[in-house]
Amino acid sequence: MKKTVKDIDVKGKKVFVRCDFNVPVDENGNITDDRRIAGAAPTIEYLIEQGAKVILASHMGRPKGKPDMKYSLKVVADRLSEIISKKVTFVSEPEVVGEKTKAAAAALADGEVLLIENVRFREEETKNMPEFSAELAELAEIFVNDAFGTAHRAHCSTAGIAEHMPAVSGFLMEKEIRFFGNLMEAPERPFTAVLGGAKAGDKIPLIKNLLDKVDRIIIGGGMAFTFLKSMGNEIGSSLLEEDKIALTAELLAEAKEKGVELLLPVDVVCASEFKNDSPSEICSADAIPAGKMGLDIGPKTCQIYRNAILNSSSVVWNGPMGVFEMDNFAAGTKAVAQALNDCSGVTVVGGGDSAAAVRKFDLEANISHISTGGGASLEFLEGKTLPGVDCLLDK
Ligand code: ADP
Ligand code: MG
């Protein structure tokens, strides 16, 4: 386990908190979804209560390593101040850590909060260049990483800075590490992985790693068709990655060898065109007509997958079961979300689109954990080391 803000004395200390304030803004610069800011509040409020001098940093958008006021964090400072009902000092300098920022950090009293400008205004940030890490480090004495969404990247503000001072997790990060760590190291069994999404190629490292961890793998989404094809099925014009057929066949064999149950769709919802209003029909998964493409799992498959999920003590889900953005092909994804919600075991959703689907269907209530990091959660499940987690002190 990694140390958290609760394992370190922060009173009177200058604490640098890497947050994920990468919120969407509209053309007028207004925040359209402030959940990430609200999500960061518990760590920030805890530090304020403990009498730390709180210095916040984040990236937002893609300013491409140069100052671009379209991506200034000013809007975040204003919104955060409303959420925590406390003044948030904001200093904007093109160099991010300039004289004004240093002065503002030095002048902080215990319990005061400063937000510095978008760290990606500096091109060194995403290259993890030591000069910028040292500049950030000059501002503070303790590093808190609460940005799971960027933890799979070694950047100055997510990993480089940790070489200069004690580093611990914030509460959001702690929750992510706890859920994913438990799944990877000591899951309640039976442990089921539900995998979908567009491409098999994207998920092969994930399946490979999970074959050593799980009892059951459920496959849906566009990636299912490469598997079905590798078994000799007719898949019509469904999504196919020719160059991955051999690999998927190997994975099927490996699952068998390792005693991992692997479920594939038995029926699919097919249409002639990739359009919501294209007339659809239910086809058997071993007889998809020529010219038809599978855009969702069928009703029999939904029932089988639901039962498998309900029969699990832990479940991790990554990737939608169909083209859920189109209402007529959303039923499979909704059924899986509903099953996770109804499952009494530990249920975890990783993956940006899967999390979006759960929210779209308003099925968040009973799911144990919905990850805040799509790419980071995928890498965690692939068994990779996340630099933004690895750099934190062990308990
Ligand atoms: P996540 O972000 O949860 O990891 P992915 O990014 O891997 O998920 O995949 C999400 C995308 O997969 C969605 O945009 C969805 O429309 C697409 N998809 C799912 N099923 C199919 C299918 N049968 N054919 C084409 N695309 C699909
Ligand atoms: Mg995605």
Separate counts of helices (H) and strands (E) for the chain: 13, 17
Among 2, 13, 18, 36, which one carries the catalytic annotation? 36
pLDDT at 144: 98
Place of tokens 């919905």: 370
Identify the bridge partners of residue 91 per DSSP, sorted by sequence position. Answer: 116
Ligand 1 atom having least distance to the Cα of 197: 9
pLDDT at 69: 95
DSSP-derived letter for residue 13 is -
Ligand 1 centroid – CA 329 distance (Å): 11
- Residue 347: enclosing H or E segment and its boundaries? strand 346-349
Q: Could you report the per-residue pLDDT of 219-249, keeping only the tens digit for each?
A: 999 999 999 999 999 999 999 999 999 999 9
Q: Please name which of 80, 51, 56, 46 lies closest in space to residue 136, comparing C-alpha atoms.
A: 56
CA-CA-CA-CA torsion sign (105, 106, 108, 111) = positive
pLDDT at 351: 84
DSSP-derived letter for residue 273 is S
pLDDT at 107: 98
The gap between the terminal CA atoms of the chain, to the nearest Å, is: 6
Q: Could you report the per-residue pLDDT of 197-217, keeping only the tens digit for each?
A: 998 888 999 999 999 999 999
Is 36 an active-site residue? yes
User: Do residues 170 and 43 lie in contact, with contact meaning Cβ atoms separated by under 8 Å?
Assistant: yes
Q: Please name which of 19, 21, 23, 41 lies closest in space to residue 32, comparing C-alpha atoms.
A: 23
pLDDT at 119: 98
Q: Whose CA is nearest to atom 21 of ligand 1?
A: 222
Q: Whose CA is nearest to atom 9 of ligand 1?
A: 197
User: Do residues 150 and 20 lie in contact, with contact meaning Cβ atoms separated by under 8 Å?
Assistant: yes
Q: Please identify every stretch of the chain with a pLDDT value under 50, giving residue numbers as ranges.
A: none
Q: What's the rounded Cα separation, in Å, for the pair 370 and 368?
A: 7
Among 298, 322, 352, 373, which one carries the catalytic annotation? 352
